[in-house]
């Protein structure tokens, strides 16, 4: 289990705090930057394309205006011409030659490809573009028909079939002809060419002064291979800006799906007329009649485009007007913006990284300082301090650490001082002990001699001898000396305890029976409360008896003035598993000042003849030897209780 736990701990990578902090910051920065970059690139991409698309949609509006402007110009020209009755009248009245010249001049001036006058039934009187061709009826022409019906001018884009074109002018028919040129995305079609022409056309009625319709004038501009309109759109809307060798903006007029007029270029730089539209765009614009706004493949490059249908007078979709800008330009803008964005993000991330490294380093070096100061403190250098210059919790922590070190140092000094005094004290006691033991040992033999001989002297001395009293005093004092010497020997622990298991009540019984008949106890009432089932203790009975005798005699001496009560009680303390013995008296008590000194050797308040001051010191030593304790509680004038605690040990001594 332990091994498993250790292994588990062992597997954990020990990593410095600074590295951990830097790694945490790094992961936050990397994740944030990654999200930022992904979202940012997406937003930039969408935005750039959306902007371009909006612009192209507006460009288509401008292109339409230019287209309609041209149609209006033709409309106005034809209408004003129809209103010039004098000119028309001369034609109608047969003066064709002069009128033809005038009309040809107007046709040239106004840039018209067709300018024709018919009679009131639509039969051609004069074709300025092909003067030899007249007399045919133009009643089937949409515009002529409309003028005949409505008697007012009309203008529209129309499809002119090849035969009609040829009648107007063989050159025009030739100009209108296209062989289809294949391109990668062109819509598939069975035909291989187109011979019809797409024309901006206007027709107006000619009235006599009485408001009778006398003829019709119509004129038009063939859009096939006429680049005036598309180039004007390119110039007006895109200012002919060139991007990487290509026109940035392009415009095209389609006849159905065929580019008849465009400035979109083939790879060789020629105009991409004769090429055709992509199928999906065709379906949406021509078949469904809706504008196409979006990216599309035009001839051989991707463009952002806008297409809308061109309708005939009868509202039939006959062609398409297109404008578009090179997608490449916007792709490049997008790329540049993304690169700038990535650069800024990278710089930001690097900046954040540097900042996070700085913060981690600051925090970890502060923590490192604290760690090494703590280590020094643990190794005993209580002068270790930490200096952290900041205005935060780390500074507070360092301050707290420093005050803790100061407090520890103070306590350590106090402890050392205490230990020093204690050591000195015990050394002093040991020296006294040794001295006492030596002196006692040396005095013991001569004292034994004095006691023996003085006894003999006393025994052999007749009772009437006057010096007998003096010898008696020698015996008494010699006995006293022997007692002191024995006490000193006991105190210096010359004797090893002879332990055996015994019930402490038995020891106390003996003590009480030894003293109760002595004169000292005559006025003293002795009370005993022995615990009935007291466990046995393993002690040296004679040494323990010596202790209790001492306590009992001290108690009696404290009550020697006028009697009192002596209580000897025992009990078992199950919590500490020990036997407790109280010796209580109702004597004079011990002052607070003396309480601290009563266990000191030679401390006595008794006269020199009565006390050596060794009794409690010896008792203390004996009880300590038995792993017990002795304590005292006293109140001056009321009495004293000494409590001895002896541990109950299961085993018998060896
Ligand atoms: N029960 C007590 N009541 C009041 N004072 C006491 C009591 N027991 C001890 N003392 C005080 O403690 C001092 C020390 O006692 P200790 O037994 O060590 O020496 P002693 O009794 O003076 O002399 P010795 O015991 O050698 O005859 C006594 O002098 C006394 O002042
Ligand atoms: Mg005593």
State the closest ligand 1 atom to the C-alpha of 589, by its place in the atom list counted from 1: 4
Q: Can you read off the two tokens belonging to residue 465?
A: 């001898």
Neighbour tally for 278: CB within 10 Å: 18
Q: Indicate the burial class of 407 (C-beta count within 10 angstroms; 0-12, 13-18, 19 or more).
A: exposed
The ligand placed nearest to the CA atom of residue 632 is 1
CA of 598 to the centre of ligand 2 (A): 10
Q: What is the pLDDT of residue 267?
A: 85
Span 623-647, pLDDT tens digits: 988 999 999 999 999 999 999 999 9
Q: Which residue has a Cα nearest atom 25 of ligand 1?
A: 615
What is the crossing angle of helices 393-460 and 327-378, to 10°?
A: 10
Q: Stretch 378-400: mean pLDDT, rounded?
A: 85
The ligand placed nearest to the CA atom of residue 604 is 1
Average pLDDT score over the chain: 88
* CB-based contact 202:74 (threshold 8 Å): yes
Which has more confidence, 15 or 546? 546
State the closest ligand 1 atom to the C-alpha of 642, by its place in the atom list counted from 1: 1
Bridge partners of 642, per DSSP, are 583, 632
**Mutate which of 613, 631, 635, 643 for ligand 1 pocket (most atoms within 8 A of beta carbon):** 613
Q: Stretch 271-300: mean pLDDT, rounded?
A: 91
Q: What pTM was computed for the model?
A: 0.57
Q: SS3 for 30-61, per residue?
A: HHHHHHHHHHHHHHHHHHHHHHHHHHHHHHHH
Ordered strands of the 639-647 beta sheet: 524-529, 564-573, 578-585, 639-647, 629-635
The ligand placed nearest to the CA atom of residue 614 is 1
* CB-based contact 264:252 (threshold 8 Å): yes
Pocket residues: Cβ below 6 A from ligand 1:
550, 554-555, 558, 585, 587-588, 590, 598, 603-606, 611-617, 640
State the closest ligand 1 atom to the C-alpha of 583, by its place in the atom list counted from 1: 1
Span 93-110, pLDDT tens digits: 766 677 788 889 999 999
Q: Stretch 545-561: mean pLDDT, rounded?
A: 93
Q: Which residue has a Cα nearest atom 14 of ligand 1?
A: 604
CA of 510 to the centre of ligand 2 (A): 18
* CB-based contact 216:204 (threshold 8 Å): yes
The ligand placed nearest to the CA atom of residue 608 is 1
Neighbour tally for 119: CB within 10 Å: 16
Q: Which residue has a Cα nearest atom 7 of ligand 1?
A: 554
Q: Can you read off the two tokens belonging to residue 212?
A: 């009778």
Q: Stretch 65-79: mean pLDDT, rounded?
A: 95
Q: Which residue has a Cα nearest atom 10 of ligand 1?
A: 554
Question: What is the H or E stretch that residue 262 is in?
Answer: strand 258-262
Query: Please, which pLDDT band fits residue 547 given cuts at 50, 70 and 90?
Result: very high
Question: What is the H or E stretch that residue 348 is in?
Answer: helix 327-378
What is the crossing angle of helices 615-625 and 541-558, to 10°?
A: 150
Query: Please, which pLDDT band fits residue 1 given cuts at 50, 70 and 90?
Result: very low
Highest mean pLDDT among 45-54, 174-183, 438-447: 174-183
CA of 580 to the centre of ligand 2 (A): 20
CA of 616 to the centre of ligand 1 (A): 7
**β-strands 524-529, 292-298 pairing:** unpaired
Q: CA torsion sign, 446 to 452 to 453 to 455?
A: positive
CA of 435 to the centre of ligand 2 (A): 22
State the closest ligand 1 atom to the C-alpha of 618, by its place in the atom list counted from 1: 18
Query: Please, which pLDDT band fits residue 495 given cuts at 50, 70 and 90?
Result: low
Query: Please, which pLDDT band fits residue 148 given cuts at 50, 70 and 90?
Result: very high
CA of 484 to the centre of ligand 1 (A): 15
Q: What is the DSSP string of 224-249?
A: TT--HHHHHHHHHHHTT-EETTEESE
Rounded to an integer, what is the distance from CA 475 to the centroid of its chain? 97
Q: Which residue has a Cα nearest atom 28 of ligand 1?
A: 604
**Mutate which of 592, 595, 606, 633 for ligand 1 pocket (most atoms within 8 A of beta carbon):** 606
The ligand placed nearest to the CA atom of residue 556 is 1
Q: What is the pLDDT of residue 381?
A: 86
CA of 459 to the centre of ligand 2 (A): 31
CA of 626 to the centre of ligand 2 (A): 20
CA of 562 to the centre of ligand 1 (A): 18
Q: Indicate the burial class of 64 (C-beta count within 10 angstroms; 0-12, 13-18, 19 or more).
A: middle
Q: How far is CA 53 from CA 63, 153, 305, 330, in A?
A: 15, 38, 7, 10
Q: Can you read off the two tokens belonging to residue 167?
A: 């009648």
Span 216-256, pLDDT tens digits: 999 999 999 999 999 999 999 999 888 888 888 999 999 99
314 contact partners, CB below 8 Å, separation of at least 6: 142
Say how far apart CA 522 and CA 540 lie, in whole Å: 30
CA of 557 to the centre of ligand 1 (A): 8
Q: What is the pLDDT of residue 10?
A: 44
Instruction: Spell 488-508 as b/e; 16+ CB within 10 A means b.
Output: bbbbbeeeebebebebbbebb
CA of 277 to the centre of ligand 1 (A): 130
Q: What is the pLDDT of residue 552?
A: 95
The ligand placed nearest to the CA atom of residue 637 is 1
Q: Which residue has a Cα nearest atom 31 of ligand 1?
A: 605
State the closest ligand 1 atom to the C-alpha of 612, by its place in the atom list counted from 1: 26
Q: Can you read off the two tokens belonging to residue 25?
A: 């910051």
CA of 601 to the centre of ligand 2 (A): 11
Which has more confidence, 131 or 300? 131
Q: What is the pLDDT of residue 653?
A: 52
State the closest ligand 1 atom to the C-alpha of 555, by its place in the atom list counted from 1: 1
């Amino acid at each position: 289990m332990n091994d498993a736990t250790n292994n588990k701990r062992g597997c954990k990578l020990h990593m410095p705090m600074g590295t951990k902090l830097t790694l945490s910051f790094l992961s936050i920065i990397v994740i944030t930057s990654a999200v930022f970059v992904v979202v940012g690139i997406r937003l930039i991409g969408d935005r750039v394309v959306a902007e371009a698309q909006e612009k192209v949609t507006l460009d288509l509006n401008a292109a339409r205006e230019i287209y309609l402007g041209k149609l209006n110009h033709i409309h106005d020209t034809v209408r004003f011409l129809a209103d010039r009755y004098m000119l028309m009248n001369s034609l109608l009245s047969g003066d064709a030659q002069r009128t033809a010249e005038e009309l040809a001049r107007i046709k040239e001036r106004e840039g018209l490809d067709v300018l024709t006058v018919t009679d009131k039934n639509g039969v051609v009187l004069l074709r300025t573009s092909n003067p030899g061709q007249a007399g045919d009826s133009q009643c089937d022409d949409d515009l002529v028909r409309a003028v005949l019906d409505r008697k007012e001018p009309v203008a529209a884009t129309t499809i002119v079939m090849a035969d009609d074109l040829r009648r107007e002018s063989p050159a025009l028919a030739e100009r209108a002809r296209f062989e289809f040129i294949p391109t990668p995305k062109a819509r598939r079609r069975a035909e291989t060419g187109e011979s019809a022409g797409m024309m901006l056309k206007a027709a107006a009625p000619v009235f006599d002064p009485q408001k009778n319709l006398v003829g019709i004038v119509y004129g038009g501009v063939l859009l096939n291979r006429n680049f005036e309109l598309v180039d004007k759109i390119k110039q007006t809307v895109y200012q002919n800006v060139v991007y990487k060798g290509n026109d940035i903006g392009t415009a095209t007029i389609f006849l159905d799906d065929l580019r008849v007029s465009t400035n979109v270029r083939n790879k060789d730089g020629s105009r991409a007329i004769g090429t055709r539209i992509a199928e999906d765009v065709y379906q949406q614009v021509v078949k469904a009649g809706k504008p196409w706004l979006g990216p599309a493949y035009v001839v051989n490059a991707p463009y952002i485009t806008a297409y809308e249908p061109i309708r005939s007078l009868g509202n039939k979709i006959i062609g398409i007007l297109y404008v578009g800008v090179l997608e490449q330009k916007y792709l490049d803008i997008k790329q540049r913006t993304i690169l700038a964005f990535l650069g800024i993000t990278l710089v930001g991330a690097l900046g954040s990284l540097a900042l996070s490294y700085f913060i981690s380093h600051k925090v970890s070096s502060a923590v490192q300082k604290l760690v090494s100061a703590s280590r020094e403190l643990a190794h005993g250098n209580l002068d270790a301090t930490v200096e952290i210059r900041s205005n935060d919790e780390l500074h507070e922590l360092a301050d707290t650490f420093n005050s803790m070190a100061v407090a520890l140092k103070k306590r350590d000094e106090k402890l050392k001082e205490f230990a020093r005094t204690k050591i000195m004290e015990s050394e002093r006691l040991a020296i006294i002990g040794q001295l006492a033991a030596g002196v006692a040992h040396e005095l013991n033999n001569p004292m034994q001699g004095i006691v023996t001989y003085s006894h003999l002297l006393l025994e052999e001395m007749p009772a009437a001898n006057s010096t007998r009293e003096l010898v008696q005093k020698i015996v008494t004092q010699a006995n006293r000396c022997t007692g002191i010497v024995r006490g000193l020997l006991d105190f210096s622990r010359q004797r090893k305890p002879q332990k055996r298991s015994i019930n402490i009540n038995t020891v106390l019984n003996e003590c009480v029976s030894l003293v109760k008949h002595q004169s000292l106890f005559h006025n003293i009432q002795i009370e005993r409360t022995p615990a009935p089932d007291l466990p046995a203790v393993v002690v040296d009975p004679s040494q323990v008896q010596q202790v209790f005798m001492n306590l009992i005699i001290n108690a009696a001496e404290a009550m020697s003035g006028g009697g009192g009560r002596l209580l000897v009680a025992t009990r078992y303390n199950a919590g500490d598993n020990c036997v407790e013995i109280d010796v209580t008296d109702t004597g004079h008590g011990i002052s607070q000042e003396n309480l601290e000194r009563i266990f000191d050797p030679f401390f006595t308040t008794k006269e020199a003849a009565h006390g050596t001051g060794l009794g409690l010191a010896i008792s203390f030593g004996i009880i300590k030897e038995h792993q017990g304790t002795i304590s005292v509680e006293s109140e001056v004038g009321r009495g004293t209780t000494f409590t001895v605690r002896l541990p109950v040990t299961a085993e018998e001594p060896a």
